[in-house]
Amino acid sequence: MKLPIYMDHHATTPVDPRVLRAMLPYFKAEFGNAASVHHAFGWNAEKAVARARAKIAQLINAETPEEIIFTSGATESDNLAIRGIAEMFREKGNHIITSAIEHRAVLDTCRYLETQGFKVTYLPVDREGLIRLDDLKKAISSKTILISVMYANNEIGVLQPVKEIGTIAQARGIFFHCDAVQAVGKIPVDVRAMKMHLVSISAHKMYGPKGIGALYVRKRDPRTRIAPLIHGGGHERGLRSGTLNVPAIVGFGKAAEISIKEMKKESARLLKLRERLRAGIQRELDEVYVNGSLDQRLPGNLNLSFAFVEGESLLKGITETIAVSSGSACTSATSEPSYVLKALNLGEALEHTSVRFGLGRFNTAREVEYTIKRVVSVVKQLRALSDLYALDRQEKAKSAKR
């Protein structure tokens, strides 16, 4: 077993060796511009792009490959979807609905639109991290043009009821955008069954290269029209101009192909590893809490809060040998709880002590066992120095004797 162990797959994933092999020819031998229509170099590049587009469309059950629009990544896809709908349908309405725990690419885009005269409703979530469908229904008005709710949260891994959201949106004639970055390639995403109109995807969250993403844009039932953000050249149905990154697109397509073949088996394996990790930690330590729903959750996600432990000290003790991330956004001067954890109303003490474990394709059972031992050891060391923990143990011991 090689250290350090990587367990931060929600931040990014390593490029699968099979993806890299597929990409390599397109850096040198097959270097053509996919928009060059008069010679073989361009034709070969265009064919490679078409194959990749078809695989990505197949992965999410899009009706046609042309519904896949390539972007530089999920942040651009989120911007293109939300701002594109806002600009295209501003005369129809100026109201957008999203959730309080969306990725910053969605939240910051919505806040920008608020400066442009749009009204945004930020739906709260319950203790499990789920929106309430009744809240969504009540928030809809005659001016609502877009609902944007993510499928899987990037911090706590919770899965929103996207099929039900899509049904509500369709019944009211409202567009539904879903940031499915953490879900695509890991769990089934069916844009037609889930009644999604726009879906953001990123290659580097599914063992593909960084710097390439896609936006699914439904072509019919209903046709989804968006205004472009980037102009010049008319690439990608005129929705996203710019020379296509052919090697990255080829890698994206290969990553999608692998996911189609291996997703079911991989998800089951990751769920077993995650539960082994959770059970192992909670067996050895008390006062450890799972953040977000354990039932409606990505198979490889585990977000835990460790009571009576200072979060930054815990993270420093772990990350010497295990790459994980904290639920807190830390700077050198201050440490503020994650807005996602705040939305769960955990209480300040638990909000500051969370650790996100993101298991992935290349993690092993041996790595999980090492992680359990390391986490348990560090937490016990820190709690041994905690007067609050000692006091809590004393109080619980007294209560048990009564």
Q: How deeply is 348 buried, as exposed, middle or buried, from its count of CB atoms within 10 A (0-12, 13-18, 19+)? A: exposed
129 close to 155: Cβ distance less than 8 angstroms: no
- 271: tokens are 């769920």
201 close to 180: Cβ distance less than 8 angstroms: yes
- Residue 50 half-sphere exposure, CB side, CA atoms within 13 Å? 8
Q: 60, 66, 82, 70: which is closest to 192 by C-alpha? A: 60
Q: 276, 129, 260, 245: which is closest to 206 by C-alpha? A: 260
Cα–Cα distance between 153 and 295 in angstroms, integer? Answer: 14
Q: Which residues contact 25 (CB under 8 A, 6 or more apart)?
A: none
Question: What angle (nearest 5°) sits at the alpha carbon of residue 292, between those of residues 122 and 191?
Answer: 65
Q: 321, 329, 275: which is closest to 298 by C-alpha? A: 275
How many Cβ atoms are within 10 Å of 323's Cβ, its own excluded? 16
Question: Has 330 been annotated as catalytic?
Answer: yes
Length of the chain in residues, anyone? 402
What SS3 class is residue 159? strand
Identified catalytic residue from 279, 330, 365, 388? 330
For residue 74, report the phi and psi dihedrals to the nearest 5 degrees.
-65, -35
1 close to 364: Cβ distance less than 8 angstroms: yes
**Maximum Cα–Cα distance for the chain, whole Å?**
87
Q: Which residues are marked as active site?
A: 330
